[in-house]
Structure 1
């Protein structure tokens, strides 16, 4: 019933868009369209970082999910459909993150003129915990209930995602291939440098277990030799069972874990409660699902926040 209602809402929104085009009235998103540039819509911050960095002056990039909003809790509105309907590229993560994407793209009424980019294409995906299926259904993860969608949390994955975005720009606007390639190579160098820092910084830590509030760090752990124990599942507000909390508290005590990590866009209550029970500290490990308004104001980006994650990991794993 919930999925049918959402489809009906998208259909209605598409009719509104069509009506606006037929009567010649300008929509509210005219400011989002730039003549002479590739207009790009991204679903959330990591993809915006890639698209804006590679597109540069040749692109106009609009990000759908605003600062401070957790992507698992977000669904598109009619104005988002209108924005995407006027773009040339739509970049989404895939791997089940945006469970609404098929209906959304159908609702744009673009008739195939909107190029879509599944940024996670080509990354070896991690299978998650099938027991989290109910939580995923509540947050739009239909169809890929046991796939971990958090590919971007590893710089190694981001390198592949950057390549996918670069290729999409060249396909959409081959006349500016050299400009896209130059900016892509610059961004690639930054991500490769971050990857080296992560590899070297985590190679010599004496401990390898991290306890996190949200099961979002599977790709980071896989790529850099760590193991995550999560209080909640792939969806950040999936409720853990009392037995799970007791098991994690026992794990923390038996394995000398000194820090329980929480994130900034969701409640830290469970992490702090568990830390108090186990008599350990807490710290931030950012899954980079979005920037806070303060981080935006301070000029933080994917690389600076991942470097901060590395510092916090190194401190916790001594």
Structure 2
């Protein structure tokens, strides 16, 4: 697939403009000039999806420290004083506002040189769980949002993730102009990978027996919208929330009506609710990874590999032809 088809020119221009607006005024010319001495750009990433971008785009010219260690549920992260201090010492802090309150608060109080909020680099939408909706009358990808605030899980859509990558690349170029050409080339290489991944999802989910999938929490709204699927979250955006009896009953009805075969759970949160629902409805269970962190339980070593594993799981559950 041509990368230009993946990210429209106007979207890229807007994303880059927004991204550069979030750069702190502290990242002045003197800081950029210091990077010409051969020192690596010191980047602090809030959690794995930001870490992956920093490593892919920065390559050998950056050192990346991640606030959320493997196996930690990002939504519940609490920072240690040492980690808060790292924010102030970093050349660049790359985060996604709205998913980790502790990180948002710490960044607001820090003296970080350059801050990049990935949420400003693409358009956020609302996705959630709405009890009592007319499921049959909805179009694929319809917004179920009943919770306040936008859905932050933009990285699960390769297209939106690519828009963020473009903005991060432009910000790295500004923060470290000495290595701007390398950042630009690395960004283009990542865009090529994301374009290929998008094409695999498009082709792999084009013809399926059903378009509906049930998952523990509503992390896959952007993915569902991109590929014409219908996400039904047991809970809303919060992975620790408990479903109401009315929601459980509705999901049982949806599973029967839409010929759902599988209830998905994830690697970093409890699978108890998913397995209970599956048992009650006679469905199978499988993993659909929201890619909030990579552990030894992950079905892949990086973002691309785990997303391909997610594609295979969806194809199996949806009856891809």
TM-score normalised by the chain length of structure 2? 0.79
Q: Assess if the C-alpha contact under 8 Å between 1:130 and 1:146 holds in 2.
A: no
Matches within 5 A, 1:290-301: 290-295=293-298, 300-301=301-302
User: CA separation in 2, counterparts of 1:145 and 1:42?
Assistant: 26
Q: C-alpha offsets along residues 274-309 of structure 1, whole Å, 9 cap, x if unaligned?
A: 1111101011101101112444xx961000000000
User: CA separation in 1, counterparts of 2:187 and 2:306?
Assistant: 20
Unaligned runs of 5+ in 2: 1-36, 132-146
Deviation of 1:257 after TM superposition, in Å, equals 0.5
Q: Assess if the C-alpha contact under 8 Å between 1:42 and 1:48 holds in 2.
A: yes
Matches within 5 A, 1:47-126: 47-94=50-97, 96-108=98-110, 110=111, 114-126=113-125
Which of 1 and 2 has higher RCO (CA within 8 Å, sep 6+)? 2
User: CA separation in 2, counterparts of 1:224 and 1:100?
Assistant: 33
**Shift >4 Å, 4+ stretches:** 129-132
Unaligned runs of 5+ in 1: 1-33, 133-143
Residue in 1 aligned with 2:194? Answer: 191
User: CA separation in 2, counterparts of 1:160 and 1:42?
Assistant: 17
User: CA separation in 2, counterparts of 1:279 and 1:156?
Assistant: 35
Q: Secondary structure at the match of 2:44?
A: strand
Residue in 2 aligned with 1:40? Answer: 43
Q: Secondary structure at the match of 1:252?
A: helix
Q: Assess if the C-alpha contact under 8 Å between 2:265 and 2:288 holds in 1.
A: yes
User: CA separation in 2, counterparts of 1:179 and 1:73?
Assistant: 35
Tell me, yes or no, if structure 1 residue 317 matches structure 2 residue 318: yes
Q: Assess if the C-alpha contact under 8 Å between 2:210 and 2:318 holds in 1.
A: yes
2:278 pairs with 275, 278, 284, which one? 275
User: CA separation in 2, counterparts of 1:299 and 1:247?
Assistant: 33
User: CA separation in 2, counterparts of 1:72 and 1:179?
Assistant: 33
1:286 pairs with 284, 289, 298, which one? 289
2:148 pairs with 133, 145, 149, which one? 145
Residue in 2 aligned with 1:304? Answer: 305
Q: Assess if the C-alpha contact under 8 Å between 2:129 and 2:233 holds in 1.
A: no
Q: Assess if the C-alpha contact under 8 Å between 1:130 and 1:145 holds in 2.
A: no
Q: CA RMSD in A?
A: 2.0
Change (3 A) 1:299 1:223: closer
User: CA separation in 2, counterparts of 1:200 and 1:46?
Assistant: 24
User: CA separation in 2, counterparts of 1:129 and 1:217?
Assistant: 10
Residue in 2 aligned with 1:127? Answer: 126
Q: Secondary structure at the match of 1:147?
A: coil
Q: Secondary structure at the match of 1:65?
A: coil
Residue in 2 aligned with 1:164? Answer: 167
Q: Assess if the C-alpha contact under 8 Å between 2:201 and 2:227 holds in 1.
A: yes
User: CA separation in 2, counterparts of 1:59 and 1:117?
Assistant: 15
Tell me, yes or no, if structure 1 residue 246 matches structure 2 residue 242: no
TM-score normalised by the chain length of structure 1? 0.80
